[in-house]
C-alpha cells in the first residue's frame, strides 16, 4: 500500500492499572510474563499511552487485513456505503461513512480475536489505514477516532468507570464495548486500500496473558 500523508503515531497497552507511569527506572525490564503499560502522567483517560513492554515469555497473536464486511446490500457494490452495517444502511445523525466502516471493522476484529481465544482487552498494538472518502480532501481521522473510542480506551483510569463517548453528533453515551486497553497505535492515510469501497483497514497484535 502506498502511504499518502504524514500520520499520527503513538503507543499504548493492554493492562491499565491505576494511572500508570511515565518512565521506568534505569535498568528495568519486564518480568517474563509481564505486560506493562506506560501511560501519560496526570491523564485519567488517554486514548493511547506512551508505550507497552512485553516480557520475553508473553505469547502474541497478529491479525491483519481486517476491514468492514459488506453488510449493506442496498448500496452499490464497491461503494463505501456498502460497508456500513447500521439497520437499513441509514447512518445515525453525524455518523460519517468512515466512522460506520470503522465500527463494522472493529466488530470483525472482536470476532477474529475471540476465535483465537482473545478479547479486545488483550490488544497491545494496532495499525489503522484510512482512505479518504470520495470528494474529501483528507481521510476522516475524527470519525475513526470516535469509532475507536467505542471499543478501546473508554474507562477512567482513576475510577475504573466507563467514560461516555459520542456516536456521530449525538451526546456522549456508554461505549459499545467497555475496554480499558490502550494499544500502541499508528494511523496512516494511504492512497488506496485493497478492497474497493473500503475506507478503513486495521491490523492488531494481542497478547496472551499467562
Q: What is the pLDDT of residues 116-130, one digit of tens each?
A: 999 999 999 999 999
Q: Output the pLDDT for position 77.
A: 95
How many degrees, rounded to 5, is the angle at CA 186 between CA 34 and CA 136? 155
Q: Output the pLDDT for position 22.
A: 57
Q: Output the pLDDT for position 205.
A: 96
Q: Output the pLDDT for position 170.
A: 97
pTM of this prediction? 0.88
Q: Return the closest-CA partner of residue 44 out of 70, 22, 18, 75.
A: 18
210: exposed, middle or buried (C-beta count within 10 Å: 0-12, 13-18, 19+)? exposed
Strands 184-189 and 123-130: parallel
Sign of CA dihedral 161, 99, 186, 201: positive
Q: Over the chain (210 residues), what is each successive 10-residue block's mean pLDDT?
A: 36 37 79 87 86 92 95 96 94 98 98 97 96 97 98 96 98 98 93 97 94
CA–CA gap between residue 70 and residue 122 (Å, rounded): 26
Amino acid at each position: 500500500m502506498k502511504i499518502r500523508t504524514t500520520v499520527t503515531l503513538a503507543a499504548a497497552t493492554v493492562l491499565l492499572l491505576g494511572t500508570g507511569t511515565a518512565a521506568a527506572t534505569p535498568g528495568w525490564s519486564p518480568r517474563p510474563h509481564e505486560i506493562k503499560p506506560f501511560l501519560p502522567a496526570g491523564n485519567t483517560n488517554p486514548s493511547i499511552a506512551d508505550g507497552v513492554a512485553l516480557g520475553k515469555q508473553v505469547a502474541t497473536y497478529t491479525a491483519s487485513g481486517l476491514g468492514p464486511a459488506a453488510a449493506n446490500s442496498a448500496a452499490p457494490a464497491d461503494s463505501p456505503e456498502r460497508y456500513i452495517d447500521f439497520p437499513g444502511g441509514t447512518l445515525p445523525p453525524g455518523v460519517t461513512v468512515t466512522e460506520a466502516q470503522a465500527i463494522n471493522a472493529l466488530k470483525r476484529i472482536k470476532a477474529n480475536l475471540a476465535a483465537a481465544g482473545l478479547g479486545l482487552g488483550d490488544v497491545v498494538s494496532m495499525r489503522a489505514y484510512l482512505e479518504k472518502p470520495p470528494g474529501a480532501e483528507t481521510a476522516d481521522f475524527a470519525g475513526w477516532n470516535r469509532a475507536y473510542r467505542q471499543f478501546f480506551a473508554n474507562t477512567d483510569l482513576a475510577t475504573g468507570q466507563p467514560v461516555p463517548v459520542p456516536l456521530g453528533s449525538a451526546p456522549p453515551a456508554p461505549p459499545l464495548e467497555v475496554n480499558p486497553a490502550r494499544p500502541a497505535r499508528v494511523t496512516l492515510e494511504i492512497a488506496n486500500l485493497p478492497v474497493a469501497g473500503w475506507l478503513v483497514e486495521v491490523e492488531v497484535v494481542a497478547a496472551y496473558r499467562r
